[in-house]
Structures are given as C-alpha cells and as structure tokens.
Amino acid sequence: MDQSVAIQETLAEGEYCIIAVQGVLCEGDSRQSRLLGLVRYRLEHGGQEHALFLYTHRRMAITGDDVCLDQIVPVSRDFTLEEVSSDGELYILGSDVTVQLDTAELSLTFQLPFGSHTRMFLQEVARACPGLDPATRDPEFQWLSRYRCTEMEPLPRGGNSALGTWPGCARIGGGRYPSGEGRWGLEEARLQGWALLCVGGVVMELPGFLLAEAAAGADPWGSAGGAVRRRDEELEEAAEMSAAAGSRDRDSSGGSHLDNLRPNGKGLFVDQSSRGQDKPENLLTRQTKSKLEITDMVRSSTITVSDKAHILSMQKFGLRETLVKSYLMQKEEDYTYIQNFRFFVGTYNVNGQSPKECLQPWLSHGIQAPDVYCVGFQELDLSKEAFFFHDTPKEEEWFKAVSESLHPDAKYAKVKFIRLVGIMLLLYVKQEHAAHISEVEAETVGTGIMGRMGNKGGVAIRFKFHNTSICVVNSHLAAHTEEYERRNQDYKDICSRMQFCQVDPSLPPLTISKHDVILWLGDLNYRIEELDVEKVKKLIEEKDFQTLYAYDQLKTQVAAKAVFEGFTEGELTFQPTYKYDTGSDEWDTSEKCRAPAWCDRILWKGKNITQLSYQSHMALKTSDHKPVSSEFDIGVRVKNEELYRKTLEEIVRSLDKMENANIPSVSLSKLEFCFQNVKYMQLQVESFTIHNGQVPCQFEFINKPGEESYCRQWLNANPSKGFLLPDSAIEIELEIFVTKTMATKLNSGEDKIEDILVLHLDRGKDYFLSVSGNYVPSCFGSPIHTLCYMREPISDLPLETVRELTLMPLWTEDDGSQLENPMEIPKELWMMVDYLYRNAAQEEDLFQQPGRRLEFEHIRDCLDTGMIENLDTLCILHHSVAEALLLFLESLPEPVICYSAYHNCLECSGNYTASKQVISTLPTFHKNVFNYLLAFLRQLLENSEKNHLDENILASIFGSLLLRNPAGQQKLEMAEKKAQEFIHQFLCNSP
C-alpha cells in the first residue's frame, strides 16, 4: 500500500511526497509508530529542496485524515541518515533495519521494515541530500516557514527528542546548515568529481550509484576505471568469482545477483534475486554485533550473522543484467536439483485472548523439527483500540509464546513477521538455512468496512528459499454463514491487491500467483450449510466427516471455481474447529448456538509438495476456535554451483555476440482506447498486447513533461513496466477507477476521461496511446448543497446543469438567487438513512461489517436514477447500504462539518454548548445534514442491545467522516481523538 498518497493530501501546493515508509521511532524502551515521508519542493529558480516529514498515524494510512504531522527534518548539509547497530548485536536475516537520523540539532533512531521498499526509501533520501560542493548555495527551506508556529528550542544532540510536545504545530529540526566538512571523511573524493553518500555502511555514487558486485567480491573503490568498466567485463568477473566461490556461502540471500529470475510464460521478466552480498571487507568497515535479548525472543536460537549493507545499496539493473537473469531462469533445470525441506504451517483464531497455555502441543509435539515455521493468528485483539488505531500489546505476547514453543531439537531465527490489526503472520527458519533465504517482503490488504479496515483481510510474506519463490498468506475472511459471496470477494481482493515490490525498480510488483509455492492459511470462515445444528453435531459424533464435508461451503465454492482455483486441501479427518465454549471442548452453548464448522483451513498450490499431516489440536482451549496445523515436504530447487558457473559463462559469451545487434522494436495490438459510461467506483478494463521483435527490450510508461505521473489519477496500466525477450508478448491492462478524489472534477467537467500514455522502450522509440471516454455523473462526489438543488435524479439532468450546480459556491444557498426551492437535505442521503431506519436498526455490527461490491454498484445506480423502490426489491444486504452511506459521506468534497469550522470544533470538543454554537454557524444544508444524521445515530443507540453499537463505536466511525482535516493543512496533535469526542457529545446529549 502506497502511504505517500495519504501524506500528499496534507501537503501544500508545490510540495510532493516522493516516497513514504512506515517505521518505529525508538526512544529508550519506548517504541512509537511513525510514517516517514520524503517531501520535495521545487524552487522558483529551478532548484529543489527536500525535507523528511514525520507523522503519527492510525492503522494503514490511506487518506490525509489518517495521519497527523508531528515533526519536520530538513534535508540540509548537516543531515545524515545511516544504518547503525549497537555493541554486541548480531543481525537477523529479515529483521528490521535500524537507522540513525542526525542533524546539528537532533538525533533520532528508527527501525524500518526489512525489504526493497525501505531500500528504495533510503536511496531516495540519499539522492535528496545536498552535495558538499562549497560553490553550491546552502538550502534555505523558506517553504517550511508555514509549518513553524513558534520558535523551537534546540533539541539535544545524542538522544532522541520527545515528540508531540508542541500541540498544533510541527517541530522543524536542523535549523542551522553548516558545511558539514569532516563529517564523512570523503570530501577529497567528492572534490575529484565523485558524488558520494554513506548510508548504512555502504558508499554509494550519486546520482548513479555504483553497482556493488557482491557475489564477485569486487572492490568498488579499486580505481576510477573500476567504477566505470563495461558491463560485460563485470558479468564475466562475476562468473569467475562465482566459480572460485564454489559451494561456500557467498550470499546470505542464497546466490549472486545474477540468478533467481522467473518469467511468466509470456517472456515477461517478472522476478529476480534481491541483491548480491556486499562483503564487509569490500565495503566500509562494519561493526559486528550480537542481540542480547534474542534468547528471550527466539528460544534456543543462535542468530546467524547477516551483513545487511546490501539492503541499502543501489544496483544498476541494465538490460544486460536483465538478459542474464532471464536466460538463467530459462536454463534453471540445467544447474539446479530438487531437495525436500520440512515446512510447518499453523493457524489459530485466538478470539482476542492472551496466551494462557503452552503452545507446544500445537507447534512441536510429535513431529520432527521443521526447517521452516509459518504461524498465523486471527483476532489477535478485538478491542476498539486495535481496530481503529492498529496498536495492541498482544502482538508481543503471542510472538513470545510462539518463540518459546518452537521445536526444542533445532535452533531457529525469525525471518519476518507482519500484522494487520488482529491478523498476524510469523516466519521462522532453522539457523543453517538463513543464508539461503532472500527477497523477503511482507504486505497487508484490508477488506473490512469501506474496503480498508483491517478487521478482515490478509497479510503475506514472500521470500526465496534457495532458487524457489514462496508466498505465505494468512487471511481472515468475512463472517456469518450466508456471507460466502463476501468471503469469495475478500479472497479475490487479497489476490488482486496484495503486491510485493521487486528489487529491480524497473519491474512491476509481484502478485501472490507469481510464486512457485503458495501456502494459504487462516480463518476462512466458510461454514456448513443446509444442515441444522443437531444434524451437524450428530455426524461429528459419528465421525462421519466425509458426509459432513459434502455440505462444506469452501468445498462447494472451490468446485464452482469461485475461489482458490488450482489450490489443494488435504482430507479433513478432524472435527470442525469452531465454535466451542472458551476453555472447553463443548460446542457453543450461547444464545446463538452456532453450528460447528471447519472455519480454520490450510491450502497449497505448486509443484513438488507433499502433505504429511493435517490436524486440529483439541488440547488448546484458550479460544472458541481450535488451532490447526499441517506439515509439508516441499521440493526446493537448490543450485549446483559448478553447473551454475558453466551456465552463466555460456550465457555471457552468447550475449557478447549480440551486444549491439539492433535497436529494439515492438508492435502494439491497439493504440486507441475508449471507455464508455465510466461510473463511480466501478472498474473498467481494456487490454492490449505488446509483441516484441528480435531484440530484448525493457518497456515503461513514462511521465509527460511537467507531470508527476505517467497517467491521470483515475487511470492505471498493469504492468506499467517490464522486460520482453525476443519474439515474446505481454498483455497490458488499462484500468479506470474513479474515487472520491477525482469524482467532483469529473462531475463538474473540470476533468475529463482523456489522457495520452507514452510507452518508452529502453534504447528504442516512444509509442503514444490515446485514452478517452465519458463519465456518468453521480451523487457520490457531489457537494451537499449541489444535491439539495437537484430535485431530479442526477442522471435525468443535462450535463451542463450538473456542471453548473457542482461549481456553484458553497454559500450560494443563502443569497436567495436560485429559481427553484431546494430540498432541506439531499434526497440520496434520505433514501439510505430511511432504508436503514426501517430495515436495519437492530442489525448486529451495523457500520462494522463490509457490504458486497456488486451491491454497492446497484445502490449507487438506484440513488443516481432516483429508483428508491429498488432498494427494497433488490434483496441487498443491510451492510451494503450502511457501507454505501459511509462511502457517500467520505466522497463529499466539503465534509458535513465544513473545513472552515474544523479547528473550532476541535477546540471546543469538550464543551457541548460551544460545540452546538459551532454547528449553528454551518451553512444551512450542512447543518441540516448534521442534525439529521445525529438523530438517526441516536435512534440506532436505542437498539444497542440488538445491534451492539455504542457511542464510542459510532463516534470512532463517523468522527473522521463528518469532521475532516482540511487538505494541505497539518493535522493537529490528537485531532482524531478530539474529532471523536466532538461527535460523542452529540450522541450522548439530546438536541
């Protein structure tokens, strides 16, 4: 998920967030999550300056409302950002990267997640750093003055600053900009024409960083000539050094940077190795460390030393390297053999409980020590704090419980863990295998309410083990027996939205399907249908699992090819794992008396996989679910180093013969694309094929002059870049998807479905693609006052009328100039609220469970066409209408409580009388909508025993929708909490 989009919404004109990364600010024993954004500002004279913006945030930052600016650190001459390590600490493969940020006035320590995205972030920061050339004028950062609300006291150097001590403004560090001479010890090299930066112990060349030939053990600083030698010489040296290396561990990633390529069958280069190993002796001297607390975290585990300097180095992925990798992949069977490794896969829905018993019966009893552990949890924390703010102490509790229960006959190292609210995935490997793990990436996808909340969704870790790519997915899909279609949609969303960055930034992200082995575990929530509770229990008592399995929803949906196509699941020889009375083996005795079901499942996809066991573990009674485990023998491709060297040499020699053969040329199956009747939040896709000629080529859609992106916001090309072998082809999909940030201007005619895409070939020509279409105006994205003046459905109005009303100023309502009397509130809002009031006032978990995507489209069309009666005849879920209401409020270009009243609302959030006074000053239509919505919410609270809603839940959900931070303005400290308090007082008090 690109969180730079959320930061961009908070920035002023001329400021652009290049890249963002989520990290942890470390202050002694304190750990606080921060979002770090690198922001660029273009100066009038043509130059540019940069600063790091540090944000507090809630959950995954999707919009500007999810972040709050905490501190700004200008990237000045005295700015440094480098990897650090403490005395006595060993690196763990896949562990977080610790970096130290220093200026003349402050010092901050962050932990950033292991992976290519962090590497790209650090590379961009490196590029942003000013040079030390005294002839270059010092950055002035006058554009940051808008963020400075008071004179800051200098922060002490050598320790972290206490963040959040100036409410309502951002602290700006690094107020002095000294020359920085003597800091790096590299000035002489700089003055000789080298632009160097030391990041994480790696010396890099700017703007084109030196390629660290790690596998070859090359010395990047041997001579100036060595820095610019021909690529074929570098590859030949890599081959020679590979031969010399033999079978020794050249690389903690299990190979040189010239192997591990995966074509997709169409000639498209879609995967590659993460990096070559930068040997410490060939880079700056690094300090060796040991992690003293590791014994407590990973029991019986001696952590392998892994030099992570290569994570921060910039590699040049030229066409020649790409060709080598591609041909190596084609010839993989010539230099690899299959070796079996034992994998343990486990899943456990813990129902928000803390660990109360040893996990060894699940993780290690009665099995041989696995080579790899993949352990997943769901419902780690069910509290509102975890749901809305993503924080939970139970993460550490369960991590420790797992680490203490791993098999006692082996030593394990944690490779990676990832969590999204209550969904957590842990990956461990035996110590001796750590050197063969590479390309570790982790991502999350939330599929909860409004398609973003993380109470439902999935997390995944992908990695390469020797020469085999593996993806492990842990998911928690939608609940309730009748919601199998929503579960199917959750699965599809996870598959389509889960994307992993590749090491080569010129290549498109990897999806789950682009792996040799996929292991999918979790609470999939598929139930037993068509049988009553007593019949289900009777079949379980008789252990007639085969008959019961015939009524299993997952079996039915897989057979219909609705989900998990191509996946395999072992035979279910254990009784259903849900639902039990907590602390016992008794079936649910609550009022709902839910029917038992196999909610917790493990499936797999790929070759050379043998399932050895598939079982539940009745001994654990902490939760209303039972944990499930499966053991696999998985055949992994392992390199024969001698055969690999010979294959590499043959490829390099053959490439020498075709080095400058021809200019690449392709043909496109289509150059013009017309999208008819584009609708709000409804995906449209057009595809075309790129056919390559006789010369390998790299392609990429590039920015047009003066533009920040290669396409308009509503358009996306998938993939947007890639590599084609000779005589191969790739299908490109052009996707149009209109969201709240684009809808208003499309309604008003300020934007149109028109764009020109430029497809660029490396060393070749550019191709121009024309995109056109028409947008169907919608109430979604329309201002409140505009809708009030639309007495007819928006679809019945002429486009010119829609445009005029959309562009009408907010305060026009009070000047009496309109010819037709407006409605008090938008009719579309009334239609949704009236439906929910009549049909769903007692619906459990209203506004917390997601609806169905197709049903949202039907609801949108009913609102836009005025077909109110269709809402009652469509047989749609109440949750779909509730989610549509939330999406409607989110899409308003001016929120219900106008931006102009935002700060006043926060200031008086604890004073009900003053708060009512602020509401009274709103434009009439906005005031009417606010009062109408709050009256409806108070009606829902009268049914709280049935719908399980309370004031806190509703304030949390509606606070950020009704009261939004103005775009381009910094978010006040505790703004989100104050917004909730503001709404909360109206819910607790009658008007």
Burial class (CB in 10 A: 0-12, 13-18, 19+), 571: exposed
Out of 25-34, 103-112, 601-610, 861-870, give the one with best mean pLDDT: 601-610
Band of pLDDT at residue 794, cut at 50, 70 and 90? very high
**Distance (Å, rounded) from C-alpha 200 to C-alpha 935?**
57
Q: What is the pLDDT of residues 215-230, one digit of tens each?
A: 233 332 333 333 333 3
On the question of pLDDT at 264 being above 50, the answer is: no
Residue 139: the pLDDT is 86
Contact status, residue 201 vs residue 82, Cβ threshold 8 Å: yes
Could you give the domains of the chain? 4-206 (2.30.29.110), 219-250+297-330 (no CATH), 332-642 (3.60.10.10), 894-991 (1.10.555.10)
Strands (E), 380-516: 412-420, 423-430, 437-446, 457-465, 468-476, 499-500, 510-511
- How is the beta sheet containing 372-378 ordered, strand by strand? 412-420, 423-430, 372-378, 336-349, 628-639, 609-616
As given in the structure block, the two tokens for residue 391 are 């924080």
**Distance (Å, rounded) from C-alpha 519 to C-alpha 474?**
9
* Residues contacting 387, CB < 8 A, separation 6+: 421, 453, 454, 455
Contact status, residue 35 vs residue 7, Cβ threshold 8 Å: yes
Element at 853 (helix H, strand E): helix 853-865
Burial class (CB in 10 A: 0-12, 13-18, 19+), 511: middle
- Going from the C-alpha of 418 to that of each of 2, 406, 424, 431, 978, the distances in angstroms are 16, 18, 6, 20, 30
Higher-scoring residue by pLDDT: 882, 147: 882
**Distance (Å, rounded) from C-alpha 267 to C-alpha 696?**
10
**Distance (Å, rounded) from C-alpha 103 to C-alpha 747?**
47
As given in the structure block, the two tokens for residue 291 are 């992690």
Element at 880 (helix H, strand E): helix 878-891
Could you tell me which of 870, 805, 802 has the C-alpha nearest to residue 832? 870
**Distance (Å, rounded) from C-alpha 795 to C-alpha 130?**
54
Band of pLDDT at residue 53, cut at 50, 70 and 90? very high
Contact status, residue 80 vs residue 104, Cβ threshold 8 Å: no
Q: Is the dihedral of CA 664, 666, 672, 674 positive or negative?
A: negative
Band of pLDDT at residue 118, cut at 50, 70 and 90? confident
The distance from CA 715 to its chain's CA centroid, rounded to whole angstroms, is 19
Please state the length of the chain.
Answer: 991
In this prediction, residues 197-220 reach a mean pLDDT of 30
In this prediction, residues 739-745 reach a mean pLDDT of 94
As given in the structure block, the two tokens for residue 480 are 């309730």
**Distance (Å, rounded) from C-alpha 67 to C-alpha 4?**
11
Q: What is the pLDDT of residues 636-649, one digit of tens each?
A: 999 999 999 899 88
Q: What is the pLDDT of residues 526-563, one digit of tens each?
A: 999 999 999 999 999 999 999 999 999 999 999 999 99
As given in the structure block, the two tokens for residue 774 are 């028409």
As given in the structure block, the two tokens for residue 692 are 């390559």
Q: Is the dihedral of CA 896, 4, 710, 258 positive or negative?
A: negative
* Residues contacting 83, CB < 8 A, separation 6+: 97, 98, 99, 100, 199, 200, 201, 308, 309, 312
Cα dihedral 521/524/528/532 (nearest 10): 130
How many helices (H) and strands (E) are present in the chain, helices listed first? 29, 32
In this prediction, residues 123-149 reach a mean pLDDT of 79
**Distance (Å, rounded) from C-alpha 899 to C-alpha 954?**
21
Cα dihedral 916/918/922/925 (nearest 10): -20
Q: Is the dihedral of CA 325, 330, 332, 335 positive or negative?
A: negative
* Residues contacting 541, CB < 8 A, separation 6+: none
In this prediction, residues 679-692 reach a mean pLDDT of 96
Residue 318: the pLDDT is 58
Residue 443: the pLDDT is 93
Per DSSP, 268 falls in state B
Q: What is the pLDDT of residues 580-619, one digit of tens each?
A: 999 999 999 988 889 999 999 999 999 999 999 999 999 9
Residue 682: the pLDDT is 94
| Residue % of the chain over a pLDDT of 90 | 53
Out of 59-68, 379-388, 690-699, give the one with best mean pLDDT: 690-699
Residue 217: the pLDDT is 33
Could you tell me which of 553, 598, 538 has the C-alpha nearest to residue 571? 598
Q: C-alpha angle 666/672/675, rounded to 5°?
A: 135
In this prediction, residues 233-259 reach a mean pLDDT of 34
pTM over 0.85: no
Could you tell me which of 286, 254, 333, 205 has the C-alpha nearest to residue 93? 254
**Distance (Å, rounded) from C-alpha 183 to C-alpha 196?**
12
Could you tell me which of 129, 84, 128, 113 has the C-alpha nearest to residue 21? 113
**Distance (Å, rounded) from C-alpha 793 to C-alpha 865?**
5
In this prediction, residues 191-211 reach a mean pLDDT of 30
3-state helix, strand, coil in the chain (%, to 5): 30, 25, 45
Contact status, residue 780 vs residue 744, Cβ threshold 8 Å: no
Residue 387: the pLDDT is 61
The greatest distance separating any two alpha carbons of the chain, rounded to the nearest whole angstrom, comes to 87
Q: Is the dihedral of CA 130, 132, 133, 134 positive or negative?
A: positive
- Going from the C-alpha of 164 to that of each of 54, 68, 194, 788, the distances in angstroms are 11, 10, 39, 42
Residue 308: the pLDDT is 27
Per the prediction, the chain carries an average pLDDT of 80
**Distance (Å, rounded) from C-alpha 456 to C-alpha 778?**
29
**Distance (Å, rounded) from C-alpha 679 to C-alpha 658?**
49
**Distance (Å, rounded) from C-alpha 166 to C-alpha 673?**
52
C-beta neighbour count of 603 within 10 angstroms: 22
226: three-class secondary structure by DSSP: helix
C-beta neighbour count of 843 within 10 angstroms: 21
In this prediction, residues 353-363 reach a mean pLDDT of 96
Contact status, residue 90 vs residue 292, Cβ threshold 8 Å: no
Element at 23 (helix H, strand E): strand 15-27
First to last CA, the chain: 41
Band of pLDDT at residue 706, cut at 50, 70 and 90? confident
Band of pLDDT at residue 743, cut at 50, 70 and 90? very high
**Distance (Å, rounded) from C-alpha 15 to C-alpha 38?**
10
